[in-house]
Structure 1
Amino acid sequence: MISDQSNELVLTESRTMRAQTADRVDVLDKVKALALLPDGTHATTDIVAGYYEVTSAAIEKVVQRHRSEVSENGYRVLRGADYRTFAADNLSTANPKTRTVALFTRRTILNVGQLLTESTVARQVRTYLLNVEEIATPAQRIEGMERAQLARERLSAMGVAKQFGLVNPSYVEAMARTELARMNGEEPDIDPADMTITCDEFLDGRVAQADLGSARTRLGKTVAALFRARYDGKDPQKIKRPIHGVHRDVAVYTHRDLDLFDTAWAEISRHYNVQDRINLGGAA
């Protein structure tokens, strides 16, 4: 059963849903009184942080990750003459050394609430939008909630697997980053060294199509043996991948272990007519 808490994650999951609710700025005052600058239109980062009862750093993090989206919803930064003119009328208590200010409109503040996951007030805003204002269709709610629930289950499973040493820690970290990003409606921020790689991906362009099956088997066995030697007998993580129309368990590694592939390839490549990867154009 999907919990009520997952319901409001529909908005963090879907930019389309956020766009559909972007005009409902009246919800902000229904959830909590919102203070604005003297112009009655804008708020600073500190004001937004106060409204959502989080740190200014948390607001800045949301802006950094979703700069394009919040800018479309009214976020802007004033500098130079524009800052001085605005500050004279609206920022009487500002530090004299300050030279810039980030400004949020009501629409931007609502957008932040749609994205901010560590705020009780933000969750209330999202819940109000979905449950009271009835913006989401049943199908949209179910889809978003199911994605959030699936991500939670995957994170839980990965945590257990890591606890008992069943999987490569680098693989767990990469997958966890991906699932967390999906839950928050963001693009995964993954260290290039944690990107995954399989034997098929390594062999892409290195051997002719006719030799791929044999090369995959030889390379797979050799890399797996090297992996076990490096990680005290642990087997590589496996995932489902389609091979000849059938989903099979395939060993998956990260680029931290790319040297194992290079070592294995140096050993087995003599069995094959090694191809020019550029000329092959990505065969396999």
Structure 2
Amino acid sequence: MTKAMVVHAFGGPEVLSWEERDIGQPGPGEILVEQAAAGVNFIDVYFRTGLYKPASMPFVLGKEGAGTVVALGEGVTSVAVGDRVAYSGANGSYAERLVIDADEVVKLPEAIASETAAAVMLKGMTAEYLLRRTFPVGPGTVMLFHAAAGGVGLIAGQWAKHLGATVIGTAGSAEKCALALEHGYDHMINYREEDFVARVLEITDGKKCDVVYDSVGKDTFPKSLDCLKRRGLWATFGQSSGKLPDIDLSILNQKGSLFATRPSLFGYVSNREEREESAGALFDVIASGAVKVRIDQTYPLADAAEAHRDLEARKTTGATILTV
């Protein structure tokens, strides 16, 4: 048995139910992980509200976490009992214990604490694929990153600066802008006080950006497109402000033969090899000191509903974790 945060019906944070569940023993190819912490992400909100549909109801919320292997199923050789591991993309991390496919986890190096891994796996690997594979940034790249003070944004700002890019960000308060400037951003725009398109034009002397990374969705469309150079790329990878409207693709032609993509982490780490490569790059950049991980909010796992309320109210910065 384990205690877990279960969703029986879609809705607000109040639908989260802290209850006991029988998870059984790991089967062939599976492991049992005793959790140290679970990460909190907007994708959890999407599943809780029903914007994204789970495979079945009821279900345990959560997509990332870290802990210690306490039992092995038949045939598992990639990890051993006692190994510290982390994962992103698997279902059910809001739990004290979790049975998971062994291929879903990566081993943690000594330099990475379990709490750090729980905070950074989904967000950090998202930053990795965006900056290194969706649009590989480097010296000379000019980029705009919305929600710069969020969990992905603070990692992406530092990593992009480490790669040599000029990094512009947006956030919704002076405090969040100041925080992002401490984490790699060259320029910050308070979107509540300034027109971010006009400021991008000013910052770039009218040349605009090579790429816009946009997890906000409804509130930043179509203005994100106006920040792009001819043949620039709009990478829309989330919708924290609401679902995007149906888009007439001719707008990309009208605004400069633009490219657009709607990527997700799971399209970039669909197998064990890709997962280990992405996580390895993330762990290396953290261990080097180039990227520092901020865990700004910590809640007991049983208080996950409060964490969701704060996340949706945009009261959070950096990473948020639930501790067991």
User: For this structure pair, what is the TM-score category when the shorter chain's length is used for normalisation?
Assistant: under 0.3
Is the strand fraction higher in 1 or 2?
2
The structure where helix makes up a greater share of residues is 1
Give the number of the structure whose alpha-carbon radius of gyration is greater. 1
* TM-score, L = length of structure 1: 0.26
Higher relative contact order (CA 8 A, sep 6+): 1
TM-score when scaled to structure 2?
A: 0.23
